[in-house]
């Protein structure tokens, strides 16, 4: 930013400097109004319980039951959050909804980074482009993808983006999912229909902590049963 200011002082066109400055945003403009708060359906993780596949599965089922009490048309599509396993240790849990059988449970199935996002200048919307990964094993498919920013990527260093924005996977990248802010959530629209909602909350605050601990926040994506057709 200092270099850009120096360039302006030396005669660089302001519009040219603004184009470069957008890429160094510390936080995406779409997320600015979002207040990090736990969703109503989020249940408390038992820190004394064993961190096992069974325990995580039971926890997700509890969350889904709470979601259905609020809106029976919603499905928990993804959930990512950290839990403390000791004074100096922490475990990050990331779960993504999908369709698979026992034979398709391979590491490739859980590599869901198969999308990207684009945005123009300071527009209050984000375009998410996702498609079905070609390398997926037969009989398995995640319903959501973790997207990486292609533009406005300076905010990639924020905790929210590091934790991940999971967006429904579509048959083609030609028709993107449009993300718009509304009611403290990122509303995901596809061809004029709301197909999902994304949000985040802070799990704690510390003056400083090791970078390897990961972000102090959790994210979630809720899918709408009626509007979302994975193709």
3-state SS string for the chain: CHHHHHHHHCCCCHHHHHHHHHCCCCCCHHHCCCCCCCCCCCCCCCCCCCCCHHHHHHHHHHHHHHHHHHCCCEEEEEEEEEEEEECCEEEEEEEECEEECHHHCCHHHHCCCCEEEECCCCCCEEEEEECCCCCCCCCEEECEEEEEECCCHHHHHCHHHHHCCEEECCCCCCCCEEEEEECCEEEEEECCEEEEEEEEEECCCCCCCCHHHCCCEEEEEEEECCCCCCC
Beta strands 115-118 and 144-149 are parallel
- Number of other CB atoms surrounding residue 38 within 10 Å: 16
- pTM for the predicted model, two decimal places: 0.83
Q: Categorize the per-residue pLDDT at 130 as very low, low, confident or very high, splitting at 50, 70 and 90.
A: confident
Per-residue pLDDT, 187: 95
Tell me the β-bridge partners of 148: 116
- Number of other CB atoms surrounding residue 144 within 10 Å: 25
Q: What is the mean pLDDT of residues 22-46?
A: 83
59: pLDDT strictly greater than 70: yes
pLDDT for 67-106, tens place per residue? 999 999 999 999 998 887 766 677 888 888 877 665 555 5
Q: What is the mean pLDDT of residues 15-37?
A: 78
pLDDT for 157-181, tens place per residue? 577 777 888 999 876 666 789 999 9
Q: Is there a contact between 22 and 121 (Cβ–Cβ < 8 Å)?
A: yes
Per-residue pLDDT, 88: 65
Angle in degrees, CA 196, 197, 201, rounded to 5: 150
Q: Is there a contact between 155 and 28 (Cβ–Cβ < 8 Å)?
A: yes
Per-residue pLDDT, 206: 67
Q: What is the mean pLDDT of residues 140-155?
A: 75
Q: What is the mean pLDDT of the chain?
A: 80
pLDDT for 185-226, tens place per residue? 999 999 888 999 999 998 877 666 666 677 788 999 999 987
Per-residue pLDDT, 189: 93
């Amino acid at each position: 930013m200092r270099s850009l200011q120096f360039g302006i002082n030396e005669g660089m066109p302001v519009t040219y400097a603004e184009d470069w400055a957008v890429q160094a945003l510390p936080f995406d403009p779409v997320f600015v109004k979002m207040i990090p708060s736990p969703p109503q359906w989020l249940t408390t993780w038992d820190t004394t319980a064993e961190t096992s596949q069974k325990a995580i599965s039971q926890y997700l089922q509890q969350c889904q039951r709470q979601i259905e009490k609020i809106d029976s048309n919603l499905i928990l599509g993804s959930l990512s959050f950290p839990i403390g396993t000791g004074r100096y240790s922490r475990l990050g849990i990331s779960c993504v909804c999908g369709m698979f059988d026992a034979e398709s449970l391979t590491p490739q199935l859980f590599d869901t980074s198969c999308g990207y996002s684009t945005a123009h200048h300071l527009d209050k919307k984000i375009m998410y482009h996702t498609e079905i990964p070609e390398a997926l094993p037969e009989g398995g498919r995640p319903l959501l993808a973790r997207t990486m920013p292609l533009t406005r990527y300076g905010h990639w260093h924020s905790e929210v983006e590091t934790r991940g924005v999971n967006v429904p996977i579509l048959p083609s990248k030609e028709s993107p999912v449009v993300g718009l802010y509304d009611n403290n959530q990122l509303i995901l629209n596809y061809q004029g229909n709301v197909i999902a909602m994304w949000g985040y909350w802070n799990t704690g605050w510390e003056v400083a902590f090791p970078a390897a601990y990961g972000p102090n926040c959790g994210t979630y994506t809720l899918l709408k049963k009626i509007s979302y057709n994975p193709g």
